[in-house]
Structure 1
């Protein structure tokens, strides 16, 4: 704590690239975060510019930072994930929820959302419930991941009646076995696995670590065996065919549930995958397709949204 008190109060630059409703537009109030989540204190130090920050290449620091953000700004307590699980940046995930909420027909609070591949973090249902009061279903093929989300929900009684978890038992299906007969969702969200193999995921992590090192004025990340600094179990980070093939399956199967979901959406991390995805969506008869660009710092990603209704 002494480091926090000795450091000058840092200016909070406006991050105009985040959604206007994103509470993280003003940067991070680290002293306030530490106050609400003391476990963050050992990870907060002045960076090269003299501003308080954390080491974003340190998996434990990132996880603790996320827990602090969820605690202070979204009233989610005791959030935790198993070692190696995907640890998503909360401000970016909140951006996705805000942009989804802007889609036509999602203006009222009685919205039901389906999260495809909710992972061990359950972040989209948590944010959708706490920001907009939506009802959510989180699905995943990994049972231990769902068990971890169930544990988070158990520690947050207000979420008990708002989030339902379902297991996908067939790796060849996405919506089938999850969307029930006669059920209707206002929107589905998804963060697809974006690598085609473990090796590709590790190379991507090494590149990310090198970029973080350069931003700190270092030449290269010093690691012989790159770790996934934002984590990621098998199905969370890679699948056969990578993001492109997953999107193709997602889009094709969405047509079969065209009358049971108003808007289908997905993050698309690789720009080259947008054009073929939109072409397939048009071919399958969608009546509205939207490409929403999101900027978070130096990273640009997209939300692809389509509807058959």
Structure 2
């Protein structure tokens, strides 16, 4: 097969994926009706619209629990204090773009949907387990979630236990070696259609804190507030070590991920990863080409003013 490489724009040129159920924003009354605890956090903002305080970690976590119950029939979702609280619409986008990459045109709820047998591996599933949860519920895939943190896996195990339909479809594996990614997780003779990953993108806890401060201040400015958060913020973005930061940050993690993917090139059809920093795209693609990938895709995603990218590659 000849080597090919392409950059894919969003299908509609802007905003979330067309299949994303969150394209029209949040219907807070409906969400609060489905998940009553959310009502305590909903207020009218400075623009006269119903919203929550997105700098309040409990409000954001409660919104996530409401979204997961209302749209995806996932109950009792929770994360421990300090764990990464993922933005659900953006995580849903990743899954839809991966489905497109695999040639799947409809979600499982569509009347014409014929369920293919798809196996997904989530590298660094964290305490939230969000990608496998969504992949199981939207497309009916079978998923494995791996993580180095046993406490994170215990939390996801509790979520799975509270949702019996996930039993046997979402399996957890602990990575015992901090210097390995796929090794010790992908078993002999096992094959995955796709792997997903949201790499730790900071090189240290201090760098992660500064990044979260910037996000909090941006949120405050968007609400028209003049106050500035400077120290000891309550971080709605959260993130334990290995979720938000690692030695060398996103660039070094991607290098390790790509190199190890080559060792398992016959056991996974597509390897994919989010890349938050555009400067890391070019060196990542260069390394992938050097290792002999037969196809490379760069897929842009946008949520609000934020643009992130999925990098996908295959050796098959």
Smaller-chain TM-score bracket: over 0.9
Does the C-alpha gap of structure 1 residues 302 and 70 become closer, same or farther in structure 2, counting only changes over 3 Å?
A: same
State the partner residue of 2:128: 121
1:188 lines up with 2:200 in the alignment: no
Give the deviation of 1:133 after TM superposition.
0.1
1:203 equivalent in alignment to 2:201: no
- State how 1:86-235 maps to structure 2 within 5 Å: 86-104=84-102, 109-235=116-242
Does 1:265 find its partner at 2:272? yes
Q: Which residue of 1 aligns with 2:78?
A: 80
Of 100-109 and 164-173, more deviation after overlay is shown by 100-109
> Is the CA contact 1:106–1:186 (under 8 Å) kept in the aligned structure 2?
no
Out of 17, 22, 25, the position equivalent to 2:23 is 25
Q: Contact 1:17–1:295 (CA<8 Å) still a contact in 2?
A: yes
1:201 Cα deviation from its structure 2 partner: 0.4
Structure 2 CA distance for aligned equivalents of residues 222 and 230 of structure 1 = 14
The alpha carbon displacement at 1:48 in A equals 1.4
Instruction: Name stretches of at least 5 consecutive residues in structure 2 with no aligned partner.
Output: 1-11, 106-114
Q: Secondary structure at the match of 1:224?
A: coil
Larger mean Cα displacement after TM superposition, 181-190 or 218-227? 218-227
Return the alpha-carbon distance in structure 2 between the equivalents of residues 222 and 89 of structure 1.
Answer: 21
The size of the alignment, in residue pairs, is: 296
Per-residue deviation at 1:106? 5.3
Taking CA–CA contacts closer than 8 Å with sequence separation of 6 or more, which of the two structures ends up with the larger relative contact order? Answer: 2
**Is contact 1:16–1:25 with CA below 8 Å preserved after alignment?**
no
Q: Could you list the per-position Cα deviations for residues 37-68 of structure 1 after superposition, in whole angstroms to 9, with x for gaps in the alignment?
A: 11101111111111111111111100000000
- Aligned CA RMSD, in angstroms, stands at 1.4
Give the deviation of 1:222 after TM superposition: 3.7
Which SS does the other structure have where 2:242 is aligned?
Answer: helix
1:159 Cα shift? 0.3
Q: 2:66 is matched with which residue?
A: 68
The aligned residue for residue 40 of structure 2 is: 42
Between structures 1 and 2, the one with greater helix share = 1
TM-score, normalised relative to structure 2: 0.91
String of CA shifts for 1:125-174, please: whole Å, max 9, x gaps. Answer: 00000000000000000001000000000000000021000000000000
Q: Does the aligned pair in 1 maintain the 2:120–2:195 contact within 8 Å?
A: yes
SS at the partner of 2:101?
coil
* 1:223-302 equivalences in 2 (<5 Å): 223-302=230-309
Contact 1:15 1:26 in 2 (8 A): no
Call closer, same or farther: CA 1:104–1:75 in 2, change over 3 Å: closer
Deviation at 1:219, TM superposition (A): 2.1
Q: Tell me the CA shift for residue 16 of structure 1.
A: 5.1
Unaligned runs of 5+ in 1: 1-13
Moved more, 138-147 or 213-222: 213-222
Question: Are the counterparts in 1 of residues 124 and 148 from structure 2 also a CA contact under 8 Å?
Answer: yes
